[in-house]
Amino acid sequence: MKFDTRAIHEGQKPDTQTGAVIVPVYQTSTYEQETIGKHKGFEYSRTGNPTRKALEESLASLEGGNYGLAFASGVAATVAVLSVLKSGDHVISGNDIYGGTYRIFEKVFKQWGLDVSYADVDKIESFEKAIKKNTKLIWIETPTNPLLKIIDIKRLAGFAKKKGVLLAVDNTFASPYFQRPLELGADIVVHSTTKYLAGHSDVIGGAVITSNEALYKDIKFYQNAAGGVPGTWDSWLVLRGIKTLAVRMREHEKNALYLAKYLEKYKQVEKVYYPGLKSHPQHYIAKAQMSGFSGMLSIELKGGFKAVEQFVSKLKIFTLAESLGGVESLVCYPARMTHASLGEKERFKRGIKDNLVRLSVGIENKADLKNDINNALAL
């Protein structure tokens, strides 16, 4: 079955008891046992729940993996992956990542003895150079948040495999519709399902997908032991969002490409970051490993923070808010919002300037979005 069909049907057969076409919300914490230890596959909803199971099967199918695990948030999914590591292990992370992931590395896992270093995502060789005897995991996002840089997954996976290091890819910005890292050789895919997968800015969720059975068992053990699972309603909402993922992603991309091309010519715009533009330094990699360029773009405005303040306050359709990937367009100021936890020094070092604005392009009418930006940029 093709992607669009799997998004609607995988893991979501009509309910065997009632024939309900849609997977029910199994709002139960526990399950009857006929005799001690004899049950229908579910014991307790932290360990497993039928609605969550449907979501996990759907996620695995969309990413082309054998196993999916759902979590209460994207950061809970990130922590679950890192939980397979031990004190003294080394992680190489790309240097352009979500601020919350950086915060997990710096403020949580470093205290527990994890060794973390950052490689320059513009130079793939820097990952190779950073490898040490105790390196166990490479962590990347591609496209990256917030600078939309692209990393060659196949090349990095080949290198990681040779060194016996796991490669985890946070695929939130692309969604499995446009990019499937496991098929390119990655070991683990992570998502904030809050974003494109759920798609309607109404739920927080996360996911881990892998085809490695041993890793799956370890992360599943952690999922039950630590308990950062999504509730039933939240699982159901993500599952419902997934049904329209393919249609939504096509529209997100169409609108983002249209706006990126427009903004590139705009005199108040210093720079446009969008992997679908021919001017993007890694456009050729994006073209090779993605089937589309998704709906995220960032711009640098002439006039610094003052221009940014004016721009975001004048926008009417784009809402100033954290998050991304919903049907509605959002604008975000990474320096003070998603990437505030980096602090000024780290932020500058990573190229996140004071005049950087991130746009999550929604699926409204593209002419309305263009007019909104045009009015907001007008002096």
Positions touching ligand PLP (CB under 6 A) are: 73-75, 98, 100, 141, 145, 170, 172-173, 192, 194, 204, 206, 338
Catalytic residue numbers read 46, 98, 170, 195
For 70, the enclosing helix (H) or strand (E) is strand 67-71
Residue whose CB is less far from ligand PLP, 208 or 215: 208
Please give the order of strands across the beta sheet that includes 296-301. 269-273, 296-301, 356-360, 330-332, 319-320
Q: How far is the CB of 102 from ligand PLP (least distance, A)?
A: 11
Which of 171, 298, 186 shows the shortest CA–CA distance to 245?
171
Cα 340 from chain centre = 18
User: Of 74 and 276, which has the nearer Cβ to ligand PLP?
Assistant: 74
Half-sphere exposure of residue 299: CA atoms within 13 angstroms, side-chain side = 26
What values do phi and psi take at 82, rounded to 5? -65, -20
Beta-bridge mates of residue 117:
92
**Whole-number Å distance between alpha carbons of 123 and 261:** 26
Rounded to a whole number of angstroms, the minimum distance from the CB of residue 358 to ligand PLP is 10
DSSP of 240-265, one letter per residue? HHHHTHHHHHHHHHHHHHHHHHHHHT
Minimum separation from the CB atom of position 63 to ligand PLP (A): 15
- Tokens at residue 308, please? 């940014």
264/250 Cα distance (integer angstroms): 21
For ligand PLP, the closer CB: 91 or 131: 91
- Nearer to ligand PLP (CB atom), residue 204 or residue 256: 204
- Cα Rg of the chain, angstroms: 21
Closest approach of ligand PLP to the CB of residue 76, in Å:
7
Residue nearest to ligand PLP (CB): 74
- Choice between 45 and 193, CB closer to ligand PLP: 193
> Residue 95 or residue 192: which is nearer to ligand PLP going by CB?
192
Q: Which stretches does DSSP call E strand in 142-287?
A: 166-170, 188-192, 206-210, 269-273
Which residue shows structure tokens 């710096």? 106
Shortest distance, position 179 Cβ to ligand PLP, whole Å? 13
As measured in angstroms, the least distance from the Cβ of 261 to ligand PLP is 24
CA distance 26 to 201: 22
Name beta bridge partners: 69.
Answer: 208
